[in-house]
Amino acid sequence: MDKDHLLTELYAISNVPSVIWIDENNMIARPAASEFGTDTFTEITGISRETHMQQVRDWVRKGVLPDDASYSVPDLSEEEVQARLHFRIAAHLRREGREEEAGAHFDRAAELAPLDFTIVRASMPLRGGDPFGEEFFELYQKYLDAGAPFHGIPRASSSN
């Protein structure tokens, strides 16, 4: 349970689900990629679970890594780092029942990282919104229009 989103900072995660492969030597064998445990959202994302699961089997059984495992994930920008700090303050204030003050920091976080799902979408249910509602689909369209930027292996890479 990562209520303050520590992993989004430690591993530069900006969308969920994100999956990172870590080997026996504590090295990241494959960096963050959007992967799913089911095909519930395949119609929207175009991502099949089975492709990833077969890659995992090949890695575990044969030590084979997909070509995209060498992809270098870019670091967070200063704005994205600050957005995470605003999100943390907002989440803390919300837990204390200080909704108005929390809202100001959720807003600031979204201004700093407007296409970061761990910021913008994650704040929707915390502010009474619907993470599957109109607000989300507006965000998703903006994200697609911007070329689907996130800190992870692009879906256009060779594994797909």
Partner 1 sequence: MTMTNEITVLSNNPIVTTGSWVNDEPYLAAKDVKEVLGWELKTEGLCRGDSCIPLGDNVDSNASDSYNLSQLANLIGRPSLAEKNLGIVAIGQSHNKRSDALTKRIAPDFTLPDISGADRALSDWAGKKRLLVAFSSW
Amino acid at site 11 = Y
Contact of 114 with 47, CB cutoff 8 Å: no
Q: How far is the CB of 6 from partner 1 (least distance, A)?
A: 6
- Among 31-39, 43-51, 141-149, which window interacts with partner 1 (CB under 8 A)? 31-39
Residue 88 as a binder of partner 1 (CB under 8 A): the answer is yes
- Among 23-31, 41-49, 138-146, which window interacts with partner 1 (CB under 8 A)? 23-31
Torsion of CA 14, 15, 17, 18, to 10 degrees: -40
Q: How far is the CB of 125 from partner 1 (least distance, A)?
A: 6
Q: How far is the CB of 74 from partner 1 (least distance, A)?
A: 8
Which listed residue (51, 54, 57, 75) binds partner 1 by CB under 8 A?
75
Nearer to partner 1, 72 or 158 (CB): 72
Which listed residue (110, 120, 122, 139) binds partner 1 by CB under 8 A?
122
Torsion of CA 2, 81, 12, 40, to 10 degrees: 60
CB atoms inside a 10 Å sphere around CB 87: 28
3-state class of 63 per DSSP?
Answer: coil
- Among 40-48, 88-96, 140-148, which window interacts with partner 1 (CB under 8 A)? 88-96
Q: How far is the CB of 18 from partner 1 (least distance, A)?
A: 5
Q: How far is the CB of 108 from partner 1 (least distance, A)?
A: 10
Residue 94 as a binder of partner 1 (CB under 8 A): the answer is no
Residue 131 as a binder of partner 1 (CB under 8 A): the answer is yes
Residues, the chain, total? 160
- Structure-token pair, residue 30: 């494959």
Angle CA(106)–CA(108)–CA(109) in degrees, nearest 5? Answer: 65
Angle CA(59)–CA(60)–CA(65) in degrees, nearest 5? Answer: 10
The Cα–Cα gap between 138 and 129 comes to 13
Residue 73 as a binder of partner 1 (CB under 8 A): the answer is yes
